[in-house]
Structure 1
Amino acid sequence: MGIPGLIHAIGAGERISLSRLAVTHLQHTERPIRIAVDISIWLFQVQAGRGGRNPELRTLFYRLLKILALPIHPLFVYDGKNKPPFKRGKAVSGRSYGSAPIIRLSKILVDLFRFPRHEAPGEAEAECARLQRAGIVDAVMSNDVDTLMFGSTFAVMGFSKESGTNKAAATHVTCYRMDSAGEPSSVMLDRAGMILFAMLSGGDYLPSGVPKCGSKLAGEIAKAGFGADLLEIIDSDCDDLDAKLSEWRERLQYELEENESGYFQTKHKAVRIPDTFPDRTILSYYAQPVVSAAGDLGAIQQRLVDAWDKDIDVVELRRFAADTFEWNYRSGARKVTKLLSEPLLSYRLRLGRQASAFAQNVSRLSNSNVPMLQKIYKSRSSYSTDGLTEFQLDIVPVDVVGLDILADEPNPPLPSQESTISGDEEEELENEGVSVPQIPVKKRVAKRYDPYTSKKVWVFETLAIIGIPDVVENWKREQAEKAAPKKPTARKTGPRKKGPIDPGMKRGSILKYGTLTKERTGISSYKSAALLEAAVAAKSPSKPSLSSSPATID
């Protein structure tokens, strides 16, 4: 779905990293944030994937890994049979949609990640908004503001790369909050205004809208309160409904022509509101979508009580990747291990399982004695997570994932010496058909990923506190000791013993050659010279005087 121009009418929203949104919620509530995901939007977006087998499903696989790594409880919602029969002027078949290959395979993949899913009675976006308003989930993840029009009070959209980062991966979302308990609204239109905006400027159910009514004018009409008046008339279900709708159209038409109330920047005499506006069927799709009844919400909530935080069957997930993405042989098993190791580590740290598992003397596939998760090497905060603190730890990937890579068949030998190895075994081979340059050029060889050796990984401080509290406490104690001011050294007091400059010279020997004096005011230079001469003569009468014009040493 999508309503062109509505995003500009409601405002920019708050841009925040999905990591910070999830971790902050965990800190405040001591549980992961529950998010209803309109997976139909995801499945539409991932169709842009290219290369390899089933690229769109592979893109979904990577997105699920991101969700697994964060403290998020997702609920994936699929479109149901009772959604509107057409969209953007095209017929939509609910039965064929549910049986499409991408839909069927996506459900298998979601199940393998042990995430719960739910089939909506009608459109997934409307059902997500219904679940969020009922408190079953905390937020709705979509890519359109339509979810706000369906009544959601907290929506996260636009999961994508943030500008200014050197990473291509999606990291940030845009948050929109409607008026709710204790939360100020960040949206400049209410739900009724959004519905009227869609009817006037055009949306999925009414692409053409009202002639000559663009998104800017539709926004001005919606902000003037005509949407709230329209829904009040429709919800009243009174006998004189047609008369009240006619009165509403006349008032809107008068304001467009005369702008008596100053709702608009200028008069719009060319815009004519049709006598058939609004189409009640189209309006019902927006204002009264088919969603779960109040009596069904309790059953949905009960089903979700134990639906999250399940152990993932990595063997079945690896088998799915081999069949669907052609990640075969041991190289495919290494790739799955590489992709799963860090998300699984974060997932198990949050559950408090990883530390206890390695505290026991369990057999490790790597046969390595390298201690895992026993020491924090350093901390960091990055722009991609909006400054969340992360800790660097040691892991052995194959021991975290627990996938026996050697159980897979080894990669077949290369067909010829001139072929290159693909995937994570890629290396440079010489081509005999190319002349060797006179100056040797160093070729860059990609090092094969080894899941049996120790790797440094980053985990969020909040998850580390849950999973390895003792290690975090030791780290903080060490940092506090380093930051503590050093105690000042005690200074020795008392007079310093003075000795001769030359150890071989006896004390007072310099007096044989002269006397150190301080010039005093009132004593002439002549009298000073006489006193100095008399002093020297008294110490050594047998020796002649040094000079008749002595110098005063200050």
Structure 2
Amino acid sequence: MGITDLWKLLEESERKFSLEQLSSYANKNGKSLRVAIDVALWSFQVRSSVVGDCSELRAMFFRFCRLYEYGIRPVFVFDGPHRPRYKRNKEIDTTPSHTKFTRDLKELIKHFHFSVWEAHGEAEAECALLERLGFVDIIFTGDSDVFLFGGRHVVRRWPKERQELLSCYDLLWIFDTTKLDRSDLILIGLLRGSDYDTHGTKGIGINSSSQLARCHLHHEIMDDIQLFGRDYKLDNERVQHLFDDLTYELHHNTCGNLKRKRTNVVLDAKFFDFSIVIDFIHPTTKIGSITSENMELAQQLEKNLSYHYEPDWLNLAEFAQVSFKWPAEYLLKRFSSVLYPGFMANKLRRQQPSFKRKRPNDEPSTQNSATLSQQEEFHQSSLMLHMKESKEDDVVKITQSKMSNNDIRLYRVEWDISTFEAFQQIVQLKLNWLDFRDIDVDLLKEVQDVDSFSSVKRQWVDANYIHYTYPSIALEYQNQQKKNNNSFLILPLKRT
């Protein structure tokens, strides 16, 4: 979605990074990577790639597990009730979405202690301003209109495979390679067509429109719109001058940017739709609306994105069991394989001196403590104690080391089984061991005689984390490596 063929035009500026690389860059500065996610695009992607009962929600769950493992703090941005009535020349439903999938998705987000943000209108416009205001570092969306709304750092697609590299874009990279800035992209959208006017101008393709944009004939009028905001009074005479200048350029190629003169092309006299231009340059957004309610919501969002919160393990496990109809034994196996590595990785991150620590009263809670049973309170407090303390016996040994793709030294550590037992203890507390056993016998067969811990007990982690948190174990490994390096047979010197 967005401007037709714009992604092809921007291919030259694309750079590839893994999700792990992106998160590690932020971790170097003691921060978690903060991302804004266009929910509509994510929902469309999972809907087109999975089948089966609750498959969309389940696919979202596995994506959330990856975000959690890498310590990424996301805000999921939903389209708002004031998005345009027409998009791609079709009337769309502008009422808030209250489908079961949306309700379940928001509950899943809540259990992971991620953030939800309801946009005023278009989610991609809200994402762009969240990034420009510094709430997030990166935007996840496949809608190229995000650049026209002012988005600067964009990841186009979620990786299908764990080590798959992501297509990453930056407005500075785009300008360096194509010499196109944001206002140029807006003009391309007006000439080529976008989600809000798919017609564009007949005979003007993505290449011709970008070549015209590089003439910068539109810069002055768009700079004024940028300066004066939504109160700008459009001068029809200036629009006519722009129309004449672009037409003359098409027919005579005075700037020399066109590959050939386009004397047969006639611009649409109404191509400069001011309502579209002003919505791109100054979109009406919730985060940009200064009201006491929105300010309070923005402060809460900033706090939730700035600190790392553990998932609400008790309710997350219970929700997953009911939603996915997983027998308790199968759920424990799945949680162990996709969430235990993140459980330990985030425990390590919290011990680092650069980690931004929460104040005691900052811990979010989805339940009133008075409603917790004594058993639940005991397990909650035990888990918090386990997460805050790092013990030398958490790590059995370091088995390997290597350099990552982004030149970070990694250690492969073997965790002690007590950490795994602590994780499972809290996860299974509210599971129903009788439900769903007869729904899918194959699931139960799949987990029989499988040692869950053996598949997750070894994990690659940042070596610096180990040196700081478990110094004696790191030193022992280094000494062993030196010993191994000096263990070759060396013949004694011949006596003279």
**TM-score normalised to the size of structure 1?**
0.72
Q: CA 1:221–1:372 in 2, change beyond 3 Å: closer, same or farther?
A: same
Q: CA 1:266–1:73 in 2, change beyond 3 Å: closer, same or farther?
A: same
What is the identity, as a one-letter code, of the residue corresponding to 1:409? W
Structure 2 Cα separation of the partners of residues 259 and 35 of structure 1: 42
What is the identity, as a one-letter code, of the residue corresponding to 1:289? P
Asked whether the 8 Å contact 1:20–1:388 carries over to 2, the reply is no
Kindly state the Cα deviation for residue 467 of structure 1 after the two structures are TM-superposed.
4.9
Kindly state the Cα deviation for residue 468 of structure 1 after the two structures are TM-superposed.
3.9
Asked whether the 8 Å contact 1:178–1:186 carries over to 2, the reply is no
User: What's the counterpart of residue 239 of structure 2?
Assistant: 245
Structure 1 Cα separation of the partners of residues 407 and 449 of structure 2: 32
User: What's the counterpart of residue 445 of structure 2?
Assistant: 425
Asked whether the 8 Å contact 2:35–2:140 carries over to 1, the reply is yes
Counterparts of residues 342-361 of structure 1 (less than 5 Å): 342-352=341-351, 357=389, 359=391
User: What's the counterpart of residue 133 of structure 2?
Assistant: 134
Structure 2 Cα separation of the partners of residues 139 and 406 of structure 1: 36
**TM-score normalised to the size of structure 2?**
0.80
User: What's the counterpart of residue 476 of structure 2?
Assistant: 474
What is the identity, as a one-letter code, of the residue corresponding to 1:137? V
Kindly state the Cα deviation for residue 390 of structure 1 after the two structures are TM-superposed.
4.5
User: What's the counterpart of residue 283 of structure 2?
Assistant: 289
Asked whether the 8 Å contact 2:80–2:121 carries over to 1, the reply is yes
Q: CA 1:42–1:260 in 2, change beyond 3 Å: closer, same or farther?
A: same
Kindly state the Cα deviation for residue 349 of structure 1 after the two structures are TM-superposed.
1.9
Structure 2 Cα separation of the partners of residues 89 and 213 of structure 1: 19
Structure 2 Cα separation of the partners of residues 485 and 413 of structure 1: 55
Deviation string 1:233-286 (CA, Å, 9 cap, x unpaired) is: 545677671001001100100110111221200011121112222122222232
What is the identity, as a one-letter code, of the residue corresponding to 1:122? G
Asked whether the 8 Å contact 1:344–1:401 carries over to 2, the reply is no
Find the partner of 2:423 among 389, 394, 400.
Answer: 400
Kindly state the Cα deviation for residue 110 of structure 1 after the two structures are TM-superposed.
0.7
User: What's the counterpart of residue 148 of structure 1?
Assistant: 147
User: What's the counterpart of residue 317 of structure 2?
Assistant: 318
User: What's the counterpart of residue 173 of structure 1?
Assistant: 166
Kindly state the Cα deviation for residue 316 of structure 1 after the two structures are TM-superposed.
0.9
User: What's the counterpart of residue 20 of structure 2?
Assistant: 19
Asked whether the 8 Å contact 2:327–2:436 carries over to 1, the reply is no
Structure 2 Cα separation of the partners of residues 177 and 88 of structure 1: 26
Structure 1 Cα separation of the partners of residues 146 and 437 of structure 2: 53
Deviation string 1:190-228 (CA, Å, 9 cap, x unpaired) is: 111111111111111111211121112112112222342
Name structure 2 gaps, 5 residues minimum: 352-384
User: What's the counterpart of residue 258 of structure 1?
Assistant: 252
What is the identity, as a one-letter code, of the residue corresponding to 1:73? R
Deviation string 1:122-177 (CA, Å, 9 cap, x unpaired) is: 2121111112111222222222332222112222222324xxxxxx4463222222
What is the identity, as a one-letter code, of the residue corresponding to 2:400? K
SS of 1:20's equivalent in the other structure is helix
Asked whether the 8 Å contact 1:424–1:449 carries over to 2, the reply is no
Deviation string 1:373-404 (CA, Å, 9 cap, x unpaired) is: 23111134567x88763423235444334323
What is the identity, as a one-letter code, of the residue corresponding to 2:200? G
Kindly state the Cα deviation for residue 343 of structure 1 after the two structures are TM-superposed.
2.0
Residue 206 (structure 2) pairs with residue 206 (structure 1)? no
Deviation string 1:386-443 (CA, Å, 9 cap, x unpaired) is: 876342323544433432379642588889xxxx9412623xxxxxxxxxxxxxxxxx
SS of 1:375's equivalent in the other structure is strand
Q: Give the percent of matched residue pairs that are identical in Structure 1 and Structure 2.
A: 24
Residue 433 (structure 2) pairs with residue 409 (structure 1)? yes
Counterparts of residues 227-246 of structure 1 (less than 5 Å): 227-232=218-223, 234-235=225-226, 241-246=235-240
Asked whether the 8 Å contact 1:379–1:392 carries over to 2, the reply is no
Asked whether the 8 Å contact 1:372–1:395 carries over to 2, the reply is yes
Counterparts of residues 508-547 of structure 1 (less than 5 Å): none
SS of 2:95's equivalent in the other structure is helix
User: What's the counterpart of residue 36 of structure 2?
Assistant: 36
Deviation string 1:522-553 (CA, Å, 9 cap, x unpaired) is: xxxxxxxxxxxxxxxxxxxxxxxxxxxxxxxx
Asked whether the 8 Å contact 1:196–1:222 carries over to 2, the reply is yes
Kindly state the Cα deviation for residue 478 of structure 1 after the two structures are TM-superposed.
3.0
Asked whether the 8 Å contact 1:17–1:172 carries over to 2, the reply is yes
Structure 2 Cα separation of the partners of residues 106 and 414 of structure 1: 26
SS of 1:376's equivalent in the other structure is strand
User: What's the counterpart of residue 331 of structure 2?
Assistant: 332
Structure 2 Cα separation of the partners of residues 395 and 424 of structure 1: 27
Structure 2 Cα separation of the partners of residues 474 and 492 of structure 1: 35
Asked whether the 8 Å contact 1:49–1:59 carries over to 2, the reply is no
Structure 2 Cα separation of the partners of residues 398 and 118 of structure 1: 35
Task: Provide the aligned length of Structure 1 versus Structure 2.
Answer: 450
Deviation string 1:350-383 (CA, Å, 9 cap, x unpaired) is: 12386764639xxxxxxxxxx5423111134567
Kindly state the Cα deviation for residue 290 of structure 1 after the two structures are TM-superposed.
1.4
Between Structure 1 and Structure 2, whose CA radius of gyration is higher? 1
Structure 2 Cα separation of the partners of residues 275 and 39 of structure 1: 36
Structure 2 Cα separation of the partners of residues 184 and 262 of structure 1: 19
SS of 1:379's equivalent in the other structure is strand
Structure 2 Cα separation of the partners of residues 57 and 375 of structure 1: 38
Structure 2 Cα separation of the partners of residues 66 and 215 of structure 1: 36
Asked whether the 8 Å contact 1:350–1:467 carries over to 2, the reply is no
Q: CA 1:466–1:203 in 2, change beyond 3 Å: closer, same or farther?
A: farther
Residue 299 (structure 2) pairs with residue 302 (structure 1)? yes
Segment drifting more, 168-177 vs 147-156 = 168-177
What is the identity, as a one-letter code, of the residue corresponding to 1:392? V
Q: CA 1:282–1:256 in 2, change beyond 3 Å: closer, same or farther?
A: same
* Structure having the larger proportion of residues in helix: 2
Name structure 1 gaps, 5 residues minimum: 162-167, 361-370, 427-445, 495-554
What is the identity, as a one-letter code, of the residue corresponding to 1:193? D
Q: CA 1:224–1:464 in 2, change beyond 3 Å: closer, same or farther?
A: farther
Kindly state the Cα deviation for residue 484 of structure 1 after the two structures are TM-superposed.
5.7
